[in-house]
Amino acid sequence: MKTDHTTRVYDSILDALPNESNPSPLVRLQRLSPSPTFPLWAKLEWLNPFGSVKDRAAAELIADLERQGKLGADQPNRGIVEPTSGNTGLSLAAIAAVKGYSMRAIVPQKVPDEKKALLRLAGAEVDVVTDALCPLPGTEDGSIGLARSYSRAQPDRYAMPNQYENPANVRAHERTTGPEIWKQTGGKVTHVFTSLGTAGTVTGLARFLKAQNPNIKIITVQPTEGHDVPGLRNLSQIGVSKLYDPALIDEILEIPYELAYQRAAELFRREGLRAGPSSGLIFEGARRVAEREQVGFGVMIFCDDVFKYMSTMVKHLPELATDEGGAS
């Protein structure tokens, strides 16, 4: 049987990666939208084959290394090394597994244990280093510095995609996320809500969508300082990314990071959406704008579901871990 998106038959799991003819689902909120004339739609990136929005960047980053001749079936001893707070590493590891490449992930120690275990489960070698939750540049022994020294010391063994600087990360969203949103909404989208990690998602989709309609508003959320939302940065931390382009962003909302956890729980309890904390934060930003503007058509990028973040969820919502009152 051949790959066929209409019957959802896939010759390889790589054929299930998202694009315009196989988009991630776009689902309308039923109960939590504050205005009936400003519907909010969630783009469910956790339904991508390796579980997050990062499948898109990882596929393009690996394709880019292959195009440059830095990875390929003819180089069986070469693999990938990448600093990651988890999701990019997981998507890279899974694609590397399919293609027979090795994968080494350099991970800050604050990354939730579930994610570190998942990386190992996917076949990655994992180096845990002392670093901020999202990798910071500058220190040689931080995750970015360590990945760089692996690729410099053993260039015949390691290729480093570098998601923070590589334009392939942006291109992934310019080629897939943006066109999917445009097609799925029939061009009706007025506002897109995103978060910031590497800024690949926001820069790529904004480039595509603003070229279709310059009036589309691109709104990003940032968690307050001192946050512990995995995968996200606030503006004081975004300097690490060469992909952040403020000219494409119409508004930045700063949101108390605790709300990421509360809103994620509400999305599951009231909408049946198993959203992770970064999606919770994005939803809070979208909710505020819909309440303020009353009329519009909003698309929220829900990057990941909640399963990899349960230890952090329980920390913020300790009632999740009590057995009292339950049936015996």
Ligand X SMILES: Cc1ncc(COP(=O)(O)O)c(C=O)c1O
283 and 271 in contact (C-beta within 8 Å)? no
157 and 186 in contact (C-beta within 8 Å)? no
Binding mask 153-192 for ligand X (x = CB under 6 A): ----------------------------------------
Is 142 among the residues that bind ligand X (CB under 6 A)? no
151 is catalytic: no
Is 237 among the residues that bind ligand X (CB under 6 A)? no
Is 304 among the residues that bind ligand X (CB under 6 A)? yes
* Of positions 201, 222, 234, 237, contacts ligand X by CB under 6 A: 201
Is 298 among the residues that bind ligand X (CB under 6 A)? no
317 and 57 in contact (C-beta within 8 Å)? no
* Of positions 91, 151, 176, 198, contacts ligand X by CB under 6 A: 198
Secondary-structure breakdown of the chain: helix, strand, coil percentages, each rounded to the nearest 5: 40, 15, 40
In this structure, what are the phi and psi dihedrals at residue 125, rounded to the nearest 5 degrees?
Answer: -85, 135
Is 234 among the residues that bind ligand X (CB under 6 A)? no
Q: Which part of the chain contacts ligand X (CB under 6 A), choosing from 5-13, 59-67, 71-79, 84-92?
A: 84-92
Is 305 among the residues that bind ligand X (CB under 6 A)? no
Q: Any idea which residue has 């909120």 for tokens?
A: 29
Q: Which part of the chain contacts ligand X (CB under 6 A), choosing from 20-28, 49-57, 59-67, 253-261?
A: 49-57
Active-site pick, 33, 43, 54, 195? 54
278 is catalytic: yes
Cβ nearer to ligand X, comparing 111 with 216: 111
Is 24 among the residues that bind ligand X (CB under 6 A)? no
End-to-end CA distance of the chain: 49
Q: Are strands 79-83 and 102-108 parallel, antiparallel or unpaired?
A: parallel
Residue 254 pairs with which residues in a beta bridge?
222
Query: Exposure string (b/e) for 107-127, b if CB count within 10 Å is 16 or more?
Result: bbeebbebbbebbeebebebe
Q: How far is it, in rounded angstroms, from Cα 303 to Cα 137?
A: 23
* Of positions 119, 122, 196, 300, contacts ligand X by CB under 6 A: 196
Q: Which residues have a catalytic role annotated?
A: 54, 278
Which residue ranges make up the site for ligand X (CB under 6 A)? 52-54, 85, 87-88, 195-201, 231-232, 276, 278, 303-304
